[in-house]
C-alpha cells in the first residue's frame, strides 16, 4: 500500500507513523501543519494534534484545525491514487 496522505492525530500516532513512514521504500514527506501552498511532494505524512486538543480551543483555532484536515483531504482526493513507479 502506498498512501498519498497519512494523518497522524496526536503524539503517539506522530511517533509511530513517523517511524513507519521512514521505513517505506518511497518515503512520505513529514509536515506539522498543512501548507498554504500545495505540497511539492506526492506523498505526505501530516502530523497534527489530537482532536481532543481542538475541542478545548477557542472557535477560531478549532476552525483552523478543521480547515487543515479538510484542505489536506481535498488535496489527496484531487491528486488521485498514488502511482508506484
Q: b/e map of 32-67 (b: 16 or more CB within 10 Å)?
A: eebeeeebeeebbbbbbbeeeebeeeeeeeeeebee
Q: Which domain holds residue 25?
A: 5-32+42-79
Q: In what order do the strands lie in the sheet with 5-9?
A: 5-9, 44-48, 29-31
Q: Band the pLDDT of 37: cuts 50, 70, 90.
A: confident
For residue 26, being part of any structural domain is answered with: yes
For residue 15, being part of any structural domain is answered with: yes
Q: State residue 72's pLDDT score.
A: 95
Q: Which helix (H) or strand (E) holds 61?
A: helix 59-79
3-state secondary structure of 5: strand
Which stretches does DSSP call E strand in the chain?
5-9, 29-31, 44-48
For residue 48, being part of any structural domain is answered with: yes
**What is the number of structural domains in the chain?**
1
For residue 72, being part of any structural domain is answered with: yes
Q: State residue 35's pLDDT score.
A: 87
Q: State residue 34's pLDDT score.
A: 92
For residue 18, being part of any structural domain is answered with: yes
Low-confidence winner among 1-5, 41-45, 46-50 (lowest mean pLDDT):
1-5
For residues 56-77, average pLDDT:
95
For residue 68, being part of any structural domain is answered with: yes
For residue 84, being part of any structural domain is answered with: no
Amino acid at each position: 500500500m502506498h498512501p498519498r496522505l497519512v494523518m497522524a492525530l496526536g503524539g503517539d500516532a506522530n511517533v509511530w507513523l513517523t517511524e513507519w513512514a521512514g521505513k517505506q521504500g518511497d518515503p512520505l514527506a513529514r509536515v506539522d501543519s498543512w501548507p498554504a501552498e500545495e505540497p511539492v511532494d506526492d506523498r505526505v505524512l501530516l502530523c497534527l494534534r489530537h482532536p481532543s486538543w481542538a475541542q478545548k480551543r477557542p472557535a477560531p483555532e478549532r476552525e483552523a484545525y478543521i480547515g487543515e484536515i479538510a484542505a489536506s483531504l481535498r488535496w489527496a482526493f484531487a491528486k488521485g491514487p498514488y502511482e508506484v513507479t
